[in-house]
Structure 1
């Protein structure tokens, strides 16, 4: 049902008419009844303007929105408004989308004469959301009122991790075919896994000579090696309360998911097997290990299921369950965060136990708020106090990280902007050093 709202012009005229009517009643007391004639006439004009306004039943609305949205900006929704019999749309029409809680609100936009309008949707979190309705608002021919109507849509959409940025980073960081062509690179001579025997030629490493094979063939034979493949890579996500705090408009968990997707893409492409694990107060998701580019879609759907939690992470239960599910040495990327040494005590203890059998990479985000407080020039005594407290918290973070490193855990701390590329570089370094 349409709603009639007085325009700013009508409110202004009504506000001017009240003191004018009181002035007439004060000067001509006998004519006080006529002082309300102007107000009544203005009310009648507003009612007439509402009757003359275009009916909402003659307008149809269509919204073209992708079936899958991505966390972050640049999700487009096309809005098309048409009038019956190809009539012109009302002048001064505004449109606004009624969005779900996981999408940022969009201010009303002017509808062009063509009736086609593009909205840029900003998704804050993964999960399911709705585009519930479209609000339309247009002005009457005399400009004294607005007619407002709500067109129900009830469009449900899934918000997934943003693979578009991942693809751009993958092309920039790991697309080796751009230089060497489309053939698979086997990296012969760069690893420790035996590949083949070949006749020794001048220039080859003499340490690769196989004397037994040389005796059988009655000529010098050398071993060729290639980079080891088929590693197990596990992306372990702490989905607890601290990981749900925002950084640069997105939660830490979403930044970690984007970095994990880039790493999974590179690992699957390199021949490794990748799995996903999530936990907060208890284990939530544990997938099997997949391989090949066809497994990336499954990992993407599993990563989209990681829920935001309000509970603190239980490292004892979570990491013990993870260790029990792995039957061979693996590379475990642990995406988590902590505040102080007391909270990190159980995390350090269980990470160290996990590092005795597996290679663990402890991936955290730099605390930009603390760095900003420390580097800002103090103006008051309170600013000095905040800087001292922030420096103490950063010192505690460094103590925890150094303790993890002494226990054999790799530590990666990077800002959110470069977290994905730094993590991928660390993974490539570990595989190149054959530490898995």
Structure 2
């Protein structure tokens, strides 16, 4: 009895068309007092409306399951990217229907307007797509799918509750990683802003001896092989491979700052994942170190097929902490982990020269043994303030302070360069491109 009550009452919704009809019936009854010639027209109209109401209920409830719906979602979502979600819906009724669909998306998105309206003829099915952009890593729980069905009469809606509760993990931006992977494989990275670096000289890793063709460097002629073959032969060299590339990610409070929904830590994680992927494609070894006031994850540099998945699983769980980075611990960790000269890309953030001075002694020590690239962020909001015209005294003060902080960022770059430490000052949205640019440049110049 209770299930019947739930079926016919809790899932039945009256439409505006029914209320409009009832309002018209009330108006006709009122007019019949002043215009007796209306006679039984108000009653006839009302009972016709009641009859249509009963027929509408019978049409929608005569089938126990007149509609089918299912959510199509990937196994995991990509952080900071537009992820496509689909809702498949099929009509089992023998007549055309109008359908309204509510998908209960995770509470992290703070959206309650994921509503779709469509029409379906008998036995028709559709796939409705929409996109979600998560801005935090972790688990996202989807709820039920609510489908509201309306017959051609349109006096009521019947609701179907499709319980499809599922939890999807949000990983670092693997969609961005795949995009750059495809570009690297096809040597078209410059289409995404990656510079084409002019190669200076040849590496010393010998590959083969081949016949001379026009355009080959005559300095690579192999005279002994040419004498034996009676034809010009040249030595062919290839890029040095299996260099160690380590991404070191600062998890301290300086990386908590948000930009466009993502924290600086998330931007660093996404860039690290893409850089590791490109390095592996270039046949280098990729590794990872995370650090805050205590030692975080350490993945030694390898070139195994499972290395990228291992890095992704570690990055998935990383969170910012609320203390400053222990730079002495970072130095001892790098000295203990890195057994040969490596490229160390350190993702951190400096807002002032004093913040750099506290860490500079340890950065200089790391740079003695490895090729160190310090990556930190432009404060785009301060940059906007410094570019706005000042309209009053307060505006002049704000503009001056913003310009001071922006100038300090440039001074930090020069200060690092004084000690032979390379740096990248980048806006968060251009971080990945700028980091890959520097990696390819260093590789082309045979710095690693």
Q: TM-score range by the shorter chain?
A: 0.7 to 0.9
Instruction: Check the 8 A contact 1:364/1:413 in 2, yes or no.
Output: yes
Q: Which residue of 2 aligns with 1:152?
A: 163
User: How far apart are residue 174 of structure 1 and its match?
Assistant: 6.3
Residue 65 of structure 1 pairs with residue 73 of structure 2: yes
1:234 to 2:246 alignment: yes
Tell me if the contact between 2:251 and 2:325 (Cα under 8 Å) persists in the aligned partners: no
Counterpart contact for 1:73–1:120, Cα < 8 Å: no
TM-score, with length taken from structure 2: 0.72
Alignment root-mean-square deviation, CA: 4.4
C-alpha contact 1:277 1:284 (8 A) present in aligned 2: yes
Query: Residue 141 and residue 286 in structure 1: after superposition, are their counterparts in 2 closer, same or farther (change >3 A)?
Result: same
Distance 1:346 1:46, change over 3 A: farther
Cα pair 1:137 1:148 within 8 Å, conserved: yes
**Distance change (3 Å), C-alpha of 1:337 and 1:209:** farther
* Structure 2 equivalent of residue 166 of structure 1: 177
2:273 aligned counterpart, secondary structure: helix
Unaligned runs of 5+ in 1: 25-40, 179-186, 211-221
Kept in 1, the 8 Å contact 2:347–2:375? The answer is yes
Is the deviation greater in 108-117 or in 423-432?
A: 108-117
Q: CA deviation at 1:429?
A: 1.7
Change (3 A) 1:197 1:378: same
For structure 2, the 5+ residue unaligned runs are 1-5, 32-46, 190-198, 211-215, 225-233
Tell me how many residue pairs correspond in the alignment.
Answer: 395
The alpha-carbon distance between structure 1 residues 202 and 348, as it changes in their structure 2 partners (threshold 3 A), is closer
Which position in structure 2 is the counterpart of 1:248?
260
Give 3-state SS (helix, strand or coil) of 1:287's partner.
Answer: strand
Map Cα deviations across residues 165-210 of structure 1 (whole Å, 9 max, x no partner): 33333444563499xxxxxxxx997024567899xx994279x999
Partner of 1:175: 186
**Correspondences of 1:282-321 after superposition (within 5 Å):** 282-291=294-303, 295-303=307-315, 305-316=316-327, 317-321=329-333
CA contact (8 A) 1:285 1:306 kept: no
1:184 corresponding residue in structure 2: none
Alpha carbons 1:127, 1:160 under 8 Å: kept: yes
For residues 259-338 of structure 1, the aligned pairs below 5 Å read 259-291=271-303, 295-303=307-315, 305-316=316-327, 317-338=329-350
1:204 equivalent in alignment to 2:215: no
Q: Which residue in the other structure is 2:213 paired with?
A: none
Partners of 1:176 and 1:352 in 2: CA distance: 35
Q: Deviations over 1:56-105 (max 9, x none)?
A: 95243222212122223442222123455x444642x3212212245563
